[in-house]
Amino acid sequence: MFLVPDGTFFVQIVNFIVFLVLLNIVFLGPVGRVIAKRRAYINGLSADIEQAQGDVKALRAQAEAKRVAARREADEVMAKARASAQNEGAEVLASFAGRATEISHEAQRAVAAEVAAAREKEEEIVGTLSRTLLERALGPGTAA
């Protein structure tokens, strides 16, 4: 039951070797090169992606630093503007307080002058008033 190799066996082995060589030349070699190129391309893309991610992180860090600096600068500007507005408000308040004091003094002087003028005419007014009251009380022509 053992098989005895004859001439066709050796021809089949040679045929198989020729088939392997042709398969390697026609199919396996080019496919291997394409696969190697594809791997290199994918590795290059991976490296580019990693580089881009690193750049994105760096740009985000820069943007955050700029945002923090801008916020700090805006806070400083706001603080200066607030202080300037408070100073200006205090100056305006002081100016109007002084003006109000002047107006009050002028009004007091005017009232004092009117009171003095009224006191100067007090006797004349009292006399006229008393005559008028007497005339009304006693009748016309009785007051002398």
Mean pLDDT of 26-36: 93
Mean pLDDT of 94-106: 91
pLDDT higher than threshold 90 for residue 69 = yes
Domain membership flag for residue 57: yes
H or E element, residue 69: helix 29-120
Domain membership flag for residue 7: no
Q: In which region does residue 141 sit, left (phi positive, over 0), alpha (psi from -120 to 50) or beta (all else)?
A: left
Average pLDDT of the residues of the chain: 90
Query: For the chain, how many structural domains are there in total?
Result: 1
Domain membership flag for residue 27: no
Q: For the segment 101-117, what is each residue's pLDDT rounded down to a tens digit? A: 999 999 999 999 988 88
Buried b / exposed e along 62-76 (16+ C-beta atoms within 10 A): eeeeeeeeeeeeeee
Proportion of the chain above pLDDT 90, given as a percent: 65
Domain membership flag for residue 102: yes
pTM of the predicted structure, to 2 decimals: 0.46
Q: Given this model, what pLDDT does residue 16 score? A: 96
pLDDT higher than threshold 70 for residue 36 = yes
Q: Which structural domain, as residue segments, surrounds residue 62?
A: 35-138
Mean pLDDT of 65-69: 95
Domain membership flag for residue 48: yes
pLDDT higher than threshold 90 for residue 144 = no
